[in-house]
C-alpha cells in the first residue's frame, strides 16, 4: 500500500513538473522539457534538468509552449507573455493586448525575463563592464656555456558593445647576453602600446580614432607617437570570423637620439580574427603608413598571433611581429622582428 502511495505521489509531482515546464517539440518528433532561455532567430536554447543547456536550430522547432512569459521580438515590435505555437504561428498571451499572434518566420529574438534583463543591460553598459582580454608572459634563462635572459610581456583588453568598441594593448621585450665580453649586453629593449576607439555608423561602416606609441632602444628610438583616425568597413562580421578594412590619416612624431621627425601619413590596413575550432583564435593585422611629406618613405607593420585555451583562464599564446621603416637612423636596420611564446592569462569583466 505504501509503495502505491509513493508511486502516486511521484506521479503527481512528475505531472506537476511537466505542467509548469516549457516544452519544445522538434520536427523529427523529439520533445524537450525545461526552461526556454533565448533564441536569436537562428537557434533556440532550452535549459533541461538532465542535459543542461540544449541548443537546436530554430527551423527544426515545430512547436513550443512556455509556462513563464517570454519576450518575443520582431523587426517592428516586442510582445511579452506566455507562448504557444500552432501551425507556424506564435500565440503570445499579453497582459495588455490579450493574445497577439506572431509568425514564427518573423521572430528575430526570443528571451526569458532574465535574458531580457541581461540584453537591456548590455545596450547601456558602464565603462567598467564588458571587458575581455588577457596578459601574456614569456621568460627564458640560460646558463653555463651561454648566459642569457629574455622576458616578454603583453596585455590586451577589449570592450565591445552594439554600437562601439574600445581596444587597448601593450607589449614589451627585454633580452640580455651576459656572457663575458658580449657586445651589446642588451640585445632587445622595445615597448609598444596604444588604444583605439571604434564607433559604428551602420552595420558595415564605422569610424575610428587611435593613438599608438613605441620605443626601441637598439634602434635609438626614444619615442614614436602616432595619432590618427578614419573610416573602417566590416567586410565579414560573424562570431567565427571578422575582417575589417581601414583607411585614414595620422600624424607621426618620431624622436630618435640626435634626430627628430614630424610628418603626416596615410593609414591603410586590414585586421582579421578567425576561430580555429573551439579552443584556438588567430589574429592578424597588416598596416601601411605612406609618408605624405616625403613621398617614397613609409612604415609598415605586420602582426600574427594565436591563443589556444588550456582552461577557462589559461592559454598558450604565440605572436610574431615585424616593423619595417624605410629611413631609420644611419647604421640601423630597417626591420625589427619579434617572436614570442608563453602563457596567456585571460579575464572577463
Instruction: State the fold for domain 131-348.
Output: Porin (2.40.160)
C-alpha triplet 302, 304, 306: angle, nearest 5°: 165
Domain ranges (residues) in the chain: 2-123, 131-348
Question: What cell was used for 177?
Answer: 647576453
66 within 8 A of 44, measured Cβ to Cβ: no
Question: What cell was used for 146?
Answer: 651561454
Give the three-class secondary structure for 91. Answer: strand
Residues near 87 by beta carbon (within 8 Å), at least 6 away in sequence:
none
Read off the pLDDT of each residue in 222-227 and give the average, rounded to a whole number.
96
Q: Over 70: is that where the pLDDT of 307 sits?
A: yes
As a whole number, the mean pLDDT across the chain is 87
Q: What is the largest CA-CA distance in the chain?
A: 100
Give the HSE-up count for residue 224: Cα atoms under 13 Å, Cβ half-sphere.
20
Give the three-class secondary structure for 15. Answer: helix
Report the Cα–Cα distance between both ends of the chain, in Å, rounded.
57
pLDDT at residue number 45: 92
Residue 8 DSSP code = H
Q: Over 50: is that where the pLDDT of 29 sits?
A: yes
Strand partners, 113: none
C-beta neighbour count of 90 within 10 angstroms: 24
Q: Over 60: is that where the pLDDT of 16 sits?
A: no
Task: Band the pLDDT of 46: cuts 50, 70, 90.
Answer: very high
User: How far is 319 from 179, CA to CA, in rounded Å?
Assistant: 27
Question: What cell was used for 92?
Answer: 503570445
Amino acid at each position: 500500500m505504501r509503495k502505491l502511495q509513493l508511486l502516486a505521489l511521484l506521479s503527481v509531482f512528475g505531472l506537476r513538473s511537466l505542467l509548469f515546464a516549457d516544452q519544445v517539440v522538434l520536427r523529427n518528433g523529439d520533445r524537450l522539457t525545461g526552461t526556454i532561455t533565448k533564441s536569436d532567430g537562428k537557434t533556440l536554447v532550452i535549459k533541461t534538468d538532465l542535459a543542461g543547456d540544449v541548443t537546436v536550430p530554430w527551423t527544426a522547432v515545430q512547436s513550443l509552449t512556455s509556462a513563464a512569459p517570454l519576450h518575443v521580438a520582431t523587426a517592428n515590435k516586442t510582445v511579452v507573455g506566455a507562448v504557444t505555437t500552432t501551425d507556424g504561428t506564435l500565440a503570445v498571451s499579453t497582459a495588455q493586448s490579450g493574445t497577439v499572434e506572431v509568425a514564427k518566420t518573423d521572430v528575430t529574438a526570443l528571451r526569458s525575463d532574465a535574458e531580457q534583463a541581461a540584453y537591456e543591460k548590455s545596450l547601456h553598459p558602464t565603462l567598467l563592464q564588458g571587458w575581455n582580454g588577457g596578459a601574456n608572459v614569456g621568460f627564458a634563462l640560460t646558463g653555463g656555456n651561454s648566459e642569457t635572459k629574455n622576458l616578454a610581456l603583453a596585455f590586451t583588453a577589449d570592450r565591445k558593445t552594439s554600437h562601439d568598441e574600445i581596444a587597448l594593448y601593450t607589449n614589451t621585450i627585454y633580452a640580455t647576453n651576459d656572457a663575458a665580453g658580449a657586445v651589446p649586453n642588451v640585445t632587445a629593449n622595445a615597448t609598444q602600446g596604444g588604444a583605439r576607439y571604434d564607433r559604428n555608423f551602420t552595420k558595415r561602416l564605422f569610424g575610428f580614432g587611435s593613438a599608438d606609441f613605441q620605443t626601441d632602444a637598439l634602434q635609438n628610438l626614444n619615442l614614436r607617437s602616432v595619432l590618427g583616425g578614419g573610416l573602417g568597413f566590416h567586410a565579414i562580421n560573424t562570431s567565427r570570423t571578422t575582417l575589417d578594412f581601414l583607411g585614414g590619416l595620422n600624424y607621426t612624431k618620431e624622436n630618435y637620439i640626435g634626430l627628430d621627425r614630424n610628418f603626416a601619413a596615410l593609414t591603410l590596413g586590414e585586421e582579421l580574427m578567425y576561430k580555429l575550432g573551439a579552443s584556438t583564435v588567430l589574429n592578424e593585422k597588416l598596416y601601411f603608413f605612406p609618408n605624405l611629406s616625403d613621398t617614397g618613405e613609409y612604415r609598415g607593420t605586420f602582426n600574427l598571433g594565436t591563443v589556444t585555451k588550456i582552461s577557462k583562464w589559461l592559454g598558450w599564446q604565440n605572436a610574431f611581429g615585424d616593423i619595417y621603416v624605410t629611413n631609420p637612423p644611419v647604421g640601423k636596420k630597417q626591420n625589427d622582428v619579434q617572436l614570442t611564446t608563453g602563457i596567456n592569462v585571460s579575464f572577463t569583466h
